[in-house]
Amino acid sequence: MKNILVTTVHRGVFFAQVDDNADLTSKEKLVNLKNCRMAIYFGTTKGVLQLAETGPTASSKIGSRADIDVLHDITGVFSVTDKAAEIWMKD
């Protein structure tokens, strides 16, 4: 599984895991996202991409985990480091 950060037209920011061979090029939708968590509040000092590099901070507000069958209106897909993914996956 590959760890990604996804942003949407609706200002949604999501951590997700996808199959290694998933098509991440569609601006319209992504499908079969697993172990997703939404960043309700970033709590970062270096912007939204800090969530992909080092993960949520102690100041971040992160939603509960859920699978997403289809996520629409994609504006960006970013690789997440292993270090950041560990923090995203903590409960």
Euclidean distance between CA atoms 79 and 10, whole angstroms: 20
pTM for the complete prediction? 0.95
What is the total count of domains within the chain? 1
47-86 pLDDT, tens digit per residue, is 999 999 999 999 999 999 999 999 999 999 999 999 999 9
pLDDT at position 86: 98
Euclidean distance between CA atoms 16 and 6, whole angstroms: 7
Q: What mean pLDDT do residues 15-35 have?
A: 97
What's the domain range around 84? 2-89
Q: Which DSSP category does 30 fall into?
A: E
CATH for 60: 2.30.30
